[in-house]
Copies of this chain bind each other. A is one copy, B any other.
Amino acid sequence: MIKRRITLKDLSKELDLAVSTISRALDDHPGISPETKERVKLKADELGFTRNSIASSFRKSKTLTIGVIAPQIDIHFHSLVISGIEEYAYKAGYNVTIFQSRNSFKREKKITETLQNNMFAGVIICQGAETRGIDHFKKLKKMKMPLVFYDRVPTGFEANKVIINDFESSLRATEHLIEKGCKNIAHIGGPQTTGIFKSRYEGFRKALENHHLEVSSSLIHFTKGLTYDEGLSAAKELLSQPVKPDGIFCSNDYTAVSAIQVFQKNGFKVPDQVAVVGFSNYPISKIIEPNLSSVNDRAFEMGQAAAKLLIRQIEDEEDVIESEIVTLKTELIIRESSSTRNMH
């Protein structure tokens, strides 16, 4: 015998009350007597009743599920952001459903289509590296789907966004190297088709210009994906230049670790002969020796902020805010890889 789920109707029969009364009692509706509420709740517990939330969502044409599109959730940055989203959403009573675009533009578009099926109260998105064009986002916006973008956000598209100031953060990180006495500062960067990596490079340049230091193209290397292995190659390239760098600003931590290792292996002391700063403050920055200075990009907080912004938009009756851009404050965490240099 298969047990059928208990419904409001079952409770109604058991208690000889109208279905509507049961529903309201369970909702703690003010116009129901405390005694009735008590009776209903007891019986509900006794029979193991749980509301069919599909039916409820359907009736109210309103769900409590947030969709998240991220390039890849097993990248630490994204898993932290998603953790922040889940944390905030959970407390606000929302569920979080995840989709990986895996940096495929095609898949990203397909996911946005799936999201147009009424199941989602809103969507949080980080664009994939391959994403060109924003028509798929426009479609979502057109159907009034609440949207928040984080980190890699579309330009020229009005929407809620949670970002950090990549330009400013990189500028400060590079100025830190300059203050430590570095004169020939190298950069290992990410693909310049991606806005955030472009901004990090530009922040780096700006710092050099501010301090009248030459920007030498032989000391600038862009990688495809900022991987550890690409970092090794880039660092070796830097080593082969006639002018050796005495400081390196890297757009993430993996390449910064590569740089430290390659230079150390070739007899350079870090930070004494070459200081290194990374970006993202990954766990490895506290493990590598010397510990790596890095920009804390506030991934977890970014997730929380994105969820907060989205839920506010979902629940906003007034509909007065068109869009908002939240910029989180980053923090340059100075560790050994750049800290004692100017004392020598």
List residues of chain A with CB under 8 Å of any chain B CB. 2-3, 5, 50-55, 57-58, 61, 63, 65, 72-76, 79-80, 82-83, 86-87, 90, 95-100, 113, 116-119, 143-144, 228, 254, 257, 261, 283-284, 286-289, 300
Contacts and interface: CB of A to CB of B under 8 A. Distances in A.
5 contacts: A2-B144, A73-B83, A76-B76, A82-B98, A87-B100
Given A73-B83, A95-B97, A228 B116 contact: no
B65 A58 contact: no
Contact of A98 (B5, B72, B80, B86): B86
A64 to B, nearest CB: 9
A319 B312 CA distance: 44
Contacts of A283: 228
B63 A72 contact: no
Contacts of A75: 79
A53 B96 contact: no
A8 B58 CA distance: 15
B74 A79 contact: yes
A154 B116 CA distance: 38
Nearest to A61: B54
A272 to B, nearest CB: 18
Q: How many copies does the complex hold?
A: 2
A98 B100 contact: no
A262 to B, nearest CB: 11
Contacts of A284: 284, 287
Given A54-B61, A86-B99, 7 more contacts: A3-B143, A50-B116, A73-B82, A75-B79, A90-B100, A95-B97, A228-B286
Contact of A65 (B51, B52, B97, B287): B97
Given A73-B79, A74-B79, A86 B100 contact: yes
B90 A54 contact: no
A52 B57 CA distance: 11
A74 B76 contact: yes
Contact of A5 (B113, B118, B261): B118
Contact of A287 (B61, B80, B257): B257
B73 A86 contact: yes
Nearest to A229: B286
Given A283-B228, A287-B228, A118 B86 contact: no
A54 B50 contact: no
